[in-house]
Structure formats: C-alpha cells, structure tokens
Amino acid sequence: MKSRLVLVLALSLACASESADGGGTIAAVDSSDGAPDGAGGTDGTDGADEADAAADGADAAADGSDGLDPLDGTDTTDAGSTDGSSVDPEAADEKAFQAALALYDALDFEGAKAAFAAFLTDFPGSVRRDNALYLTARCRFELQDYPGARTGFAAFVSSHASSALLPDATYYLGRTDYELLDYASALSTLDAFIAKWPTDVLADNALYYVGRSHFELLQYAKAEVAFADVISHPESSYRDAALYWSGRTAYTEARYADAEARFATLIVDYPGGLYEDNGRYYGAMSRYRLEDYAGALERFASFRAAFPNSIYQDNARYFTGRCHYKLGDFAAAVGELETFAADWPTSGYADDSAYYAGRSHYELAKAGATSGYAKAIASLGTLVSTWPTSAYVDNAYYYRLLSHLAQGSCTGAKTDAAALEAAVPASAYVDKAATALATAGC
C-alpha cells in the first residue's frame, strides 16, 4: 500500500487534499464505571469496586463520539478527461471547470458546489462532465451533507463504469455510508473496492475503514485483522490510526496487556501525533484495568501534565482519585475526587466521584479522622439526591446508614434503611442494612 501523503498533486490535474475527518483530539468520554456490585450485592464492605473489572461505559463506543480520524490524504484523479479526449486549456468549458476546481482547492466547498452545478448546466457535453459530477459529490461530502453525497456517489458509480474516477467514487460511497452509520453497507462497498483495486492509493484508507466498520458492528476479531493489515504497512498514513484502534479493540475485549502494548507502540512511533493523547490515556486505563494502580497513577499524572487541554482530562482526574482509593490513600482520593466534582459537575463520572469521595471519608473516619462520618453522610447524600437513579444509590444509602450508626444515630440509620429499600428493593444491601440495624440495637 502507498501512503496518501507521498503523492504529488498537480493543481490543474487533481483535487485538493482531503480534509480531516473530524480533526482535533476529541475522544469518547466514559459515562460510567460499569454496574457497581451494590446493584447485584456481593460485598457489603467494598461496594462498587468490583465494577472495575468491567469495561468503561462509553469507552467501548465508536468513533461517532470519538471524532478522531486521520487525513484521507491526496486525490490523484479528477484531472483530465476520462474518455481519452484532449483538453483545450483555452476552451470555455475548461476555463469554467478550472475556476470551479480552484474554489475546491481553496476549500470553498459551497462555492465550488455552485460552480460545478453551473458548469454542468452550461456545458452538458464537456469531457469534464464526470469530473464535475464526482467533485460535486465530494463537495457535499466535505460539507457533511452525507445523504446528498451518497446520492451523488451512487449515481456516479452506476452511470460511469468506465471512468477513471470510478475507484475514488466507489471509495467515497463506502466512506459516506460509514459517516451515515450504515456500517454494513460501508463494509460491502469498501470490501468490493479492495477486491477490485487492491493496489489503489486509497486501498489502505479503505482497509482502515473496513476495520472501523467491523469495530462499530462489534465484530472485533474482523476489525483486528483489518487493522493488523494496515499496521503491517509502515508507509501507510493510516498506520497510527490503525494502531490506536487496534489498541481500542483489545481494550474493549478486556485484553488490557495487548491494548497497552499497542498504545505504547503508537506513542513511540508517532510522538506528537493526532492520537498521542488518546493513546496515553488508554495506556493508563489499560494499566488501571490490569490492577497496577501505582503504575496507572504515574501514567495518569504524565498524561495530565502533557495534555492539559485534552478532553480526557476529567476522566484522568477521576481515575487518579480511584487509583488513590485502590491504594488505600483515602486522603489523596478525597482531594482528587472532590476537585474533579467541582471542576466537572456535569461529567458522566459525577455520581461515581460523589460515591467514592463519600467512601473515602468513611474509611478516613474509621481510621479516626475528625468529622469523617459527617462528611461521608454529606457526600453520599449528594449522590442520592442529585442522581437518584445512579447505580451507586443502594451502596450510598448503605454507607450512609453505617456512618449514622457510627455516630450513634439510629434515627438517621433507619431513615437511610427505609430509603434504600424503597429505591432498590432487590439490592443485597437491604438485608445487610437490616442486619446492621439489629446488631446496633436499632
């Protein structure tokens, strides 16, 4: 496979370079830490911690939320006529075409779309007609008018079987289906493209999106095969993207050691690349999932220092607190989790942080911290009042109950026991709460 980035683009004979598919370093933000064990009730002392064995909520989700994709690179077509006819640079149709192409090259896709439409109306018999039809669809693609782009590419593919632009139009038909979240159609078109044009300059691009489509369809083994093929070609401009999503695939399948290794390769091979912050974040998460909390803590600290503006900053701050909690440093956990809650009050981890801050206060109180139980009651109370449907609600009521009992308040403990039973009647904490009340003589 060739890299899209090594091609030379002649302005009079080719399209402009592809714009980024979403760009930036935006990535999916975890929405939860999995279902805490309180909901199923197995541990009255460690609450939701067993949830850490599960994959992180939205982390396994697709790039629709991630937004990260590399450049498609540079087009090699759209140039001369595709029927072998010569092009007269002084002809009116050629001048009109070049004027429209100049707008496209300048990334003025609205202007280019209008110019190509006028060209097609004014010069219906021009040898540039297929170029103009293709580029009109490309303008729609760049403007994220994916339904319109799909109509244009599909019409082109069906009516221009001998055009030199057929491979490009076929590829973009598949890409448009991908953007429309029709992953099955994207796979069908892109697989057909690779089979028909295996050495085309867009073949590695297509193979990457085959992998991404399989990933979105939860077909992880097939995604791995496609990503591995792209990774095996060091010249591909999609290799870094394939490394990242190969790591994400392993992470989603809970193969955290494999995931960590791929993220490490990504970071070494592409320092400062588009995926470095995502790779560093998921590398730290992989270490966390491997239960090396000290190692994860170091990685989260390095990530947070290197990428202060990353969209993963909130996740990293939350899991920094969780690492401290896992390591038994409850004072540090409180500091991180309460700072997290103040800085990101709308995060998907807001209820999680309230729960673990409350649990940390509870553990500190057991160790003799002044007012620790009161702080635990307050933090856990914030959780149950602000997020009454949180998976941590039964855990929170139970530890509030224990905190009230530690303060000698049967009234408060009974109130929480009743609220627990009303909120989550099937929770194993209901029986634990009854036992705790009876033991305390309440």
> In the prediction, which pLDDT does 99 show?
95
The answer to the question of residue 115 being in a domain is: yes
Q: How confident is the model at residue 76 (pLDDT cuts 50, 70, 90)?
A: very low
For the entire predicted model, the pTM comes to 0.79
Average pLDDT, stretch 300-317?
95
Axis crossing angle, helix 410-423 with helix 372-386, rounded to the nearest 10:
30
> In the prediction, which pLDDT does 87 show?
79
Instruction: Say whether pLDDT at 413 is over 60.
Output: yes
Q: How confident is the model at residue 440 (pLDDT cuts 50, 70, 90)?
A: very high
What pLDDT, in 10s, does the model give residues 125-161?
A: 999 999 999 999 999 999 999 999 999 999 999 999 9
> In the prediction, which pLDDT does 143 show?
96
Give me the domain span that covers residue 149. Answer: 77-200
Instruction: Say whether pLDDT at 63 is over 60.
Output: no
> In the prediction, which pLDDT does 88 show?
83
The answer to the question of residue 46 being in a domain is: no
Work out the mean pLDDT of the chain and round it to a whole number: 84
Q: How confident is the model at residue 85 (pLDDT cuts 50, 70, 90)?
A: low
Average pLDDT, stretch 26-34?
30
Domain count, the chain: 1
Per the model's pLDDT, the better-predicted residue between 332 and 44 turns out to be 332
> In the prediction, which pLDDT does 89 show?
87
Find the angle CA(419)-CA(325)-CA(437) to the nearest 5 degrees.
Answer: 30
Instruction: Tell me which of 60-64, 70-74, 242-246, 276-280 is least confident.
Output: 60-64
The percent of residues in the chain predicted with pLDDT above 90, rounded, is 78
> In the prediction, which pLDDT does 369 show?
80
> In the prediction, which pLDDT does 156 show?
96
Per the model's pLDDT, the better-predicted residue between 408 and 27 turns out to be 408
The answer to the question of residue 438 being in a domain is: no
Q: How confident is the model at residue 9 (pLDDT cuts 50, 70, 90)?
A: very low
53: exposed, middle or buried (C-beta count within 10 Å: 0-12, 13-18, 19+)? exposed
The answer to the question of residue 126 being in a domain is: yes
Nearest alpha-carbon partner for 103 in 143, 139, 63 = 139
Q: How confident is the model at residue 4 (pLDDT cuts 50, 70, 90)?
A: very low
Instruction: Say whether pLDDT at 270 is over 90.
Output: yes
The answer to the question of residue 162 being in a domain is: yes
Q: Sign (positive/negative) of CA torsion 297, 240, 246, 67? A: positive
Q: How confident is the model at residue 44 (pLDDT cuts 50, 70, 90)?
A: very low
What pLDDT, in 10s, does the model give residues 385-404?
A: 999 999 999 999 999 999 99
Q: For the chain, what is the radius of gyration of the CA atoms?
A: 28
CA distance 376 to 338: 12
Please report, for the domain that includes residue 177, its CATH number: 1.25.40.10
Instruction: Say whether pLDDT at 368 is over 90.
Output: no
* Whole-Å CA distances, 360 to 120, 324, 354, 397: 69, 10, 10, 15
> In the prediction, which pLDDT does 24 show?
26
The answer to the question of residue 65 being in a domain is: no
Instruction: Say whether pLDDT at 366 is over 50.
Output: yes
The answer to the question of residue 243 being in a domain is: no
Average pLDDT, stretch 81-95?
74
Per the model's pLDDT, the better-predicted residue between 38 and 290 turns out to be 290
| Sequence-separated contacts (24+) of 425-434 with Cβ below 8 Å | 427/38, 427/39, 427/41, 427/394, 428/38, 428/40, 428/41, 428/42, 428/44, 429/38, 429/41, 429/44, 429/394, 429/395, 429/397, 429/398, 430/394, 432/41, 432/44, 432/398, 433/397, 433/398, 433/401
What pLDDT, in 10s, does the model give residues 318-355?
A: 999 999 999 999 999 999 999 999 999 999 999 999 99
The answer to the question of residue 137 being in a domain is: yes
CA distance 3 to 24: 21
Buried b (16+ CB within 10 A) or exposed e, 379-417: bbbbbbeebeebbbbbbbbbbbbbbbbbeebeebbbebb
Instruction: Tell me which of 36-50, 189-203, 293-307 is least confident.
Output: 36-50
- Counting Cα atoms < 13 Å in the Cβ hemisphere of 192 gives 17
